[in-house]
Amino acid sequence: MTDSTAPSRGTDAIQAVKLKHPIRTTFAVLIVLVVALFVWDAATRDAYQWDVVAKYLFDRRISQAALITLALTVCSMVLAIVMGLVLAVMRLSDNPVLKSVSWVYLWLFRGTPVYVQLVFWGLLGTIYKTVTIGLPGTPFTFGEISPFAGLDLFWLAVLGLAFNEAAYMAEIVRSGILSVDRGQDEAARALGMGWRQTMLRIVVPQSMRVIIPPTGNEVISMLKTTSLVTALGFSLELYARTRAISSQIYAVVPLLIVASIWYLAVTSVLMVGQYYLERYYARGVAAQRPDLGDEGPMPATGTIGTLPSEEATVSGVAGDDAGTVPSGAPPGARTATLTKSDGAAASDPSVDDADANDGDDPADTSGEGGRA
């Protein structure tokens, strides 16, 4: 049997020469030199006070603030994702009331700065000290409540961040749902699935490939947005805590470095989680899989390669069956011949189609088309 890895008869082996990039290499060297100079300067500059950085990097107050910041991020994003999913479904609904409510919500929370919203959340306890439930314009009342009296500032901050983020998550989820081919929904309904089954088992899992990357970006953005919760009076998160310590010891720069290191560390962990989450939902779609890049797996059609020229010898075909592809033969005939040599594509419908085409090929006198 002919070795399938041997060069084809009548063709010369291709000598690949690696392309050189002198400009790119020079630019990379310059960047490395600039970074090295900056690091050396920063390491020897007294203004950074690295001894203070080392002292407060693992300070108990700082580590607790980092955990509170992470908790704020996770709780806010979980609530925002749930709300965003509901708002996206409402926006895509045929019900004009639900669609209008969703649109107004997005317009309101995307149209005002998050800092202003957080200030309002902090004032809600003052604005709505008590809420009376009854019939408007009549003396009939059923009761009186204080909705924000017992609400902790941490949860008030979570609500403020989540309500703002939900408006952006709704658009991300909506774009993901719209990216799923319409035929998937029609096929699911043809199989007897209801709307809930279609969304949960067909549409939402497929849309996750589009939703995960921007959602990961929003999570990292939320981590830094938590520094704005001081607007409603919450001062236990990372940035507020480092700023309070720096004002006590009159050392602003080293505490800013401490906060930056913690933000970078948490961001790195979140990015690793995003990588594995993307890889999980990109199963079967090679182009979007981070571990496969642009290469991806071999196509499932069984095709093993393309011919270098019109008269090239078919490699990998045993014994006397090996031959040349007639000039002018349709591409399908050449593909069918290569697939047949693979042995696993004998039942491939594409081979049968190619054979049917070969029957019309005037160069095919065997009556069996391109089959070996």
What tokens were used for 353?
Answer: 């189609």
Q: What is the DSSP letter of 343?
A: S
**Type of residue at 272:** V
Task: Say whether 134 sits in a helix, a strand or coil.
Answer: strand
Contacts of 326 (CB under 8 A, 6+ apart): 361, 363, 364
Contacts of 259 (CB under 8 A, 6+ apart): 238, 239, 242
Residue 57's alpha-carbon distances to 50, 72, 238, 262, 366, in angstroms, are: 10, 21, 12, 8, 81
Q: Tell me how far apart the terminal alpha carbons of the chain are, to the nearest angstrom.
A: 14
Q: What is the CATH number of domain 55-282?
A: 1.10.3720.10
What is the distance between the alpha carbons of residues 221 and 80, in angstroms, rounded to a whole number?
13
In this predicted structure, what is the pLDDT of residue 233?
86
Task: Say whether 151 sits in a helix, a strand or coil.
Answer: coil
What is the distance between the alpha carbons of residues 320 and 32, in angstroms, rounded to a whole number?
60
Q: Which residues pair with 202 in a beta bridge?
A: none
What residue has token string 């196509």?
A: 299
Q: Which residues pair with 313 in a beta bridge?
A: 324
Contacts of 275 (CB under 8 A, 6+ apart): 290
Describe the crossing of helices 238-249 and 252-281 by its angle, rounded to 10 degrees: 160
Domain ranges of the chain: 55-282
Query: Tens place of pLDDT for every residue, the chain, 372 residues?
Result: 445 455 555 567 788 888 888 899 999 999 999 999 999 999 999 989 999 999 999 999 999 999 999 999 999 999 999 999 999 989 988 889 999 999 999 999 999 999 999 999 988 888 888 888 888 777 777 788 887 877 888 999 999 999 999 999 999 999 998 888 888 888 888 888 887 888 888 888 888 888 888 998 999 999 999 999 998 888 889 999 999 999 999 989 999 999 999 999 999 988 998 888 888 877 766 555 555 544 444 444 444 444 444 444 433 333 344 444 444 444 444 433 333 333 333 334 443 444 434 434 433 433 333 333
In this predicted structure, what is the pLDDT of residue 99?
92
In this predicted structure, what is the pLDDT of residue 287?
52
Cβ density class 97-129: b for 16+ within 10 Å, e for less? ebeeebeebbeebeeeebeebbeebbebbeeee
**Type of residue at 178:** L
What is the distance between the alpha carbons of residues 118 and 168, in angstroms, rounded to a whole number?
16
What tokens were used for 90?
Answer: 């409402």
Residue 114's alpha-carbon distances to 111, 119, 199, 224, 324, in angstroms, are: 9, 9, 31, 12, 70
What is the distance between the alpha carbons of residues 301 and 315, in angstroms, rounded to a whole number?
18
Backbone torsions φ then ψ of 297, nearest 5 degrees: -75, 170
Are the CB atoms for 157 and 240 separated by under 8 Å? Answer: no
What tokens were used for 9?
Answer: 């008869």
In this predicted structure, what is the pLDDT of residue 226?
92
